Every structure is written in C-alpha cells, then in structure tokens.
Structure 1
Amino acid sequence: MSMLKGTRLALALGLSTLAAAPMAAEAADELKPVVFSLDFIPLGRHAPWYAAVEEGFFAEEGLDVTIIPSQGTAQVMQAIASGTAQFGFVDLPGVVLAQAGGTDIEMISVNYQKSPYAIFSLANGGDVQDIAQIEGLSLGSGAGSITPKVIGGFMSQNGLSASSLEIVNVAPPARASALLSGQVPAIEFFVMAKPGLEKAAKEAGTELRTFLLADNGLELYSNGIGALGSYLDENPDVAEGFVRAAMRGWKFTLDNPEKAADHIVKNVDGLDHDVVLAEIEVVRNLAVTDDVKEHGLGWFSPEKMKTGVEFVIDNVGVDGTAPEAGSIYRSEFLPEPAILP
C-alpha cells in the first residue's frame, strides 16, 4: 500500500532567512486546519489535490489542508460523519445511500462528470465493444459491489435483460490475473485501472478492450467534494475557499501534468511518475466535458443530479428513506468567476 510521506504544505514558502521565522509562525497560526479524505489510497488520479496543497492554493484561502487516505466510499462517509475529515471525495451513489441512512452529507462540486464504471475485456476474449455484448456476459466482480447494479440499470435503460448478466465473484486484487488468464471473459473496474491493464494485455500479446458506460449513454455523476450539511452551514467561507482552491488544483494539474505528477510523487511513497501521468489523462476524460468547458470545473446540473438520484434509487436501492434530489447538493460554493479547464 502506498503510504503518505507528507501532506501538509510548508507554510514558510519562499522565506529563507532566520529573521522571517516569526512571520512564518504567525502566518501558520492564522491558517485554519482542514482535513480532506480521499476515496482510496493516494494514486495518480489524486494528483489535483496534492497540486492544490503544493502550489499554495489552499494556503491562499487561509487553509492548512491535510490529505488522508481511505479504503472506499463507506470509509470516506464515516470520516466525514465522525468529524475526522471536514471534506471528502465522495460519489453521488454513496451520498444518496448515506442520506437514506440518516447521514446529512451533501455534494458541493462534481469533479468526475462521467462515472468511471468500466467493463474490461481482451481482444482474444470477451472483446466487449458494444452494449449488446453485455447481455449474457460473465463478469468478474466483487461481493457487495454496487457496480453490477449500476451495470444492470444501464442495461435495463437500453432494453437489455439485466438478469442475464452473470456475476463471478473475483476479489479486486485477483481480477486482472483472472482476466489475463482467461478465467473470466470480462471484469469490472474503475476506468482508472486502464493504463495498468493495457500494459499487461500488451505484454500478454493481446489488446485491452475498455467499455466505459459513461461514453455509451450512462448519465450519472460520480465523485466530487462532499461535507456535512451542518458543517457547511457553520463554515460557508471555509467551504467556498476549499472548493475554489481545489478547482485551481484541478486546473493546474490539467495544464501542467508533469509538475502535478512531481507533486504527488514527492508526497506519496511508491508511485511511478509515468503511471501518475497516465491516470491524470484518464481523469481528464472524466472531468472535462462540454458542460465543464462552458460552466467551469466542479459545476453540475440540477437536472442531471435529479436523474442520477433517481437512477440510484431505482437500480441500486436504498435502506431507509430515499432522499429528494434537492437535498443531495448545494451549488453556492462553486467558484465565481468559474475556473475553466
């Protein structure tokens, strides 16, 4: 597992003399500590958050941001609900499920305009390149994963039989080998796994096929910044500053991927610079859409939010009271003027 070496921004940027030390200490006292939880261990896809720290964007908003890892959506939600983190990289399905369970987490930006759900196969295996090929497919997935439910809902929307999808229980660490060895004709993973799988397929003498649901009609927002509604009520200026600095980090990363890769590699042990660059390009496809080019990074449509909430309720299902779409998000913390990619 990659381990964090350091996630806090040095507060005395550019101050090299001993005489400046008291001034640096005074500046440090004025910064408000904030914890941000990733959705997983730090990987190349998370470069924008580290860029925002290292480039001083959070500090310019008066924030001293610490980035912590997690082991998935549920853990991010727990960190936010318990106050361990003030902000987290949450996804829309997770927020719907959390609110249904009584946890008042709201989204204040959407960074992945496209959902990262992908079906991977090999040219000499499942060779999935069209939606019709999903019907009757044997798919390596994990017990408890909501992804098969998302895929099933996507199939139903397109007139296919969701019940025809055969789920083969394969733990995430074993999925790549199960695919490459032919144990299963296809697996599901987030699309960020594409660079590694593509390399492995090439070494095995074949080609990887990537079927990204979002590029084939799935209208479902995914990850963005989330926080407790009560925290947002009490700290609107912090939330506004955090989102603005984060979106600047995203813009910096998209404009300067090499430098952004340097920043995260500096902070996280075990990351490969080239793999980080490849993941940045994958998330670029998720983050930069025509809507974002027009309205700015982090922007979202209330109509598409409503569509996404209804999709989750209808296809993933909720325990408890299904939330109204309007309770899932707040848009007042998005930057003005918008930060365009």
Structure 2
Amino acid sequence: MMFRKTKLFTVVAAAIVVGFTILGQSPAPAQAQGMKDLTFSLDFIVLGRHSPWYVALAKGYYKDEGLNVKIIPGKGSASVISNVESGIAELGFVDVPSLTLARTNKSTIKMVAINYQKAPYSVFSLDPGANVTKPKDLEGLTLASAPGSFVTNIIKAFMRSHGLDPSKLKIQGAAPSAQIPMLASGKAQAINFFIMTKPAITRIAKRSGKQARSLLLADFGLKLYSNGIGAKESFIKNNPEVVRKFVRASLKGWKDTFANPAEAAKLQKQYAKGLNEQITIEEIAILKKLAVTTDTKKNGLGWFSGEKIKASRDYMVTNAGLDASKAPKATDLYDLRFLPKKPILP
C-alpha cells in the first residue's frame, strides 16, 4: 500500500510540476503578412496560473494588435531571464527580486508591467507535520528547495526582517518534481512553491489524511513586487509600439480571466491538455488576490509605481545580502511608458 501511495504522489506531482512542458508550447500559426512574430517566455512550465496569457492568445487579442505570439515554458526565475537575454524570447514573465540580482550581473531587462502586485512566495507543510503557520516556525525547519533557487534568499531575507535567524533554516536540495512527493511521504518537512500551487498540494495531502498548510510571506509583511512583463532595453528601444501592443493585449487576457475563470480554464486547456480545469479555476482565484489590489483597481491591471519598485530594490539590498555598490539603480529596473493610456480595470 505504501508503494502505491508513493507512486501516486510521484505521478500526480510530476503532472503538476513537469508534465506540461511539451503541451504548454502554444502552436505557432503560419506567419501572416504584416504580423510581428514574438516569443514570450513563462517563468515555469505551464500551470493554471498562466491562463491569462492563453486567454489573450485564444481570444485573438495578440492577433488584433498585429502580433503572432508564441508562448514557451520556463524553468524558474533564472531561466526566463536567460531566455530573454539570449534572444530565445523577446519578452518574459520576469520577477522583480530576481531581476534586481540579474542587473548586478549585467542584465539589461526592464519591467514594463507588473502582474503580481503581491509576492506569491509560500512555504508549504502538512498538519500533522511541521505545521508552519507563522514566521517563527521557520527557525529550526528543514526546507526542500530547488538547488540554486533564489526564493530561499527571499525567505531568509524575510526571516531577517522579522528578527529571526536565517541560519536556523536548513535547506535541503530537491528538484521541483520531487518536492511534493517528498512532502507527502514525510521525506521533507516543508517545501517552497508559489501560493497558486495550494489547490494541487491540498488534494495530495488529503490522500494521506493530512491538511496542507501554507505560509504566504506577503500575509506577514513581505512587500515586494513580483512577476510581470520584462524585455531587454535594446528591444524596448527598437520596438516601442510592439511592447505597448503586447502589454495591452496581455492585460485584456488578465481582465477576462478574472471575469470568467471557467472560460479561461477551458481556453487554456486547448494549449495544455493535461491541465485540470477545476485546479486551474482555483489557481485563478488565488491569482486574483495577488493581481487585484487597491492600486490596480484604481490604475488598471499591470500598473506599478517607481516608488514601489525602489522599495522592492531596497529590500533586496538590505535583506538579501546584495552589494549596495553593485546593485542597480531603481530606475534601471523599469520603464513606465508602456502601460495602456486607458487603464484596463479588473
């Protein structure tokens, strides 16, 4: 019986974490005359959280702007930055903390829209088990995380800002595809994933008679912008209208996703057939809490301020051990010119 449960956890987690890479690549239609080809890199393999991009694709919003968009999966924060820097993709779903670090290593990417107004970084555990429900529980914890993941730096910075000792958090290296089975089988006390993974982890925990617990750092004072649309300075300079059109079309997809999650799940499944529509709907509900804030209700989806970008940059310099002399200026991280003149309200 234990073998069967372990095998089930492995299969389910693999489907969640790595199973959609091939299906997740949106089919590239034949290039139409006058259409601009663009490749957009996600931050991870295709999951329900990425449905807004596929809604924009399926509804023809990119096509309406004269854009022939191909969406490709990523393998984490470093990979999407690499994809954009190398030219594999012209634009990517980049996160501000990782970009702050990348700019110290000569990255030239700038943010042109911010979709995750709140950072989605979360620590998952089980009850009974480690039962991590407050920041203090991170001390003495062993956290399974992907080798080289920058999220562990965020978590340690978060601990330091709460007066906790980050050296008391032990990091256990584990590939993303292994982490959920490890948590379910008791081989890991806790794992770190974006909060949108909660619906899937909850289902897996229930199969072993346990409850999933999530510690969303943003609920305990972490004030960081996270993922949004990024592009290299050279591409922005040479293609300002293309960037503007891509942002506008994408934000329409975000608006429609929140307005009709069930429709969004169905549309996305056309491109990633292995996705569970109900899980996607639940992920969208979580996504909405990250993207729809007082700021975006007033100023439109994707909106951001230079002041808050600076606050995110300063947080990284203060808490993540960045050399202040090498850290980028806040103005190096963003370009405000590409948000729609008429805000796309949620």
TM exceeding 0.5: yes
Deviations 1:175-209 (A, max 9, x none): 22222222333222221221111011112112111
Q: Which runs of 5+ in 2 are unaligned?
A: 1-18
Instruction: Quote the residue 1:270 is aligned against.
Output: 274
Q: Rate the CA distance shift 1:10–1:252 in 2: closer, same or farther, 3 A.
A: farther
Superposition CA RMSD, Å: 1.9
Alpha-carbon distance in structure 2 between the residues aligned to 1:317 and 1:8: 42
**Which of residues 284, 304, 326 is equivalent to 1:321?**
326
1:82 pairs with 81, 86, 109, which one?
Answer: 86
What is the deviation of 1:318? Answer: 4.8
2:162 pairs with 1:143: no
Which amino acid in structure 1 is aligned with residue 75 of structure 2?
Answer: Q
Opposite residue 251 of structure 2, the aligned amino acid is: M
- Native 8 Å contact 1:9 1:56 kept in 2: no
Answer yes or no: is 1:91 the counterpart of 2:95: yes
SS state at 1:29 partner: coil
**1:158 partnered with 2:162:** yes
Residue 127 in structure 1 maps to residue 131 in structure 2: yes
1:1-341 equivalence runs, <5 A: 1-2=19-20, 3-4=22-23, 7-8=26-27, 28-318=32-322, 321-341=326-346
- What amino acid does structure 2 have at the position aligned with 1:253? T
- 1:20 aligns with none
Describe the SS at the equivalent of 1:119: strand
Partner of 2:33, secondary structure, is helix
Cα drift, residue 40 of structure 1: 1.5
Alpha-carbon displacement from aligned partner over 1:40-76 (angstroms, at most 9, x marks no partner): 2222111100111111111121211111122222222
Q: Is the 8 A contact 2:115 2:291 kept in 1?
A: yes
* 1:293-321 CA-partner distances (Å, limit 9, x unpaired): 11110011222211111222333345893
Alpha-carbon shift at residue 282 of structure 1 (Å): 2.1
CA distance in 2: counterparts of 1:186 and 1:42, whole angstroms: 23
2:270 alignment partner, SS class = helix
**Residue-by-residue CA offset, 1:230-257 (whole Å, 9 max, x unaligned):** 1111111111111011000000111011
Query: 2:25 touches 2:72 (CA, 8 Å); kept in 1?
Result: no
Distance (Å, rounded) in 2 between the aligned partners of 1:310 and 1:117: 18
- The range that moved more, 228-237 or 159-168, is 159-168
Query: 2:64 is matched by which residue type in structure 1?
Result: E
Matches of 2:144 and 2:210, distance apart in 1: 19
* Aligned residues of 1:61 and 1:242 also touching (Cα < 8 A): yes
CA displacement at 1:125 relative to structure 2: 1.0
Retained in 2: the 8 A contact 1:9–1:54?
Answer: no
Instruction: Give the secondary-structure state (helix, strand or coil) at the position aligned to 1:210.
Output: strand
- Deviation, 1:152, is 1.2
% identity of equivalent residues: 44
CA distance in structure 1 between the aligned counterparts of 2:240 and 2:127, rounded to whole angstroms:
51
Per-residue CA distance 1:142-199 (angstroms, 9 max, x = gap): 3222222211111111111222212223332222222222233322222122111101
Alignment partners' CA distance in 1, 2:23 and 2:35:
22
**Amino acid across the alignment from 2:265:** A
TM-score by length of 1: 0.90
Name the structure 2 match of 1:19: none
Structure of larger gyration radius: 1
TM-score, scaled to structure 2: 0.89
Matched AA of 2:331: G
User: How far 1:132 moved relative to its partner?
Assistant: 2.0
The aligned amino acid for 1:34 is L
For residues 179 and 316 of structure 1, do their structure 2 counterparts lie closer, same or farther at Cα, with a shift above 3 Å needed? same
CA contact (8 A) 2:98 2:150 kept: no
Q: What secondary structure does 1:340 align onto?
A: coil
The amino acid across from 1:79 in the alignment is N
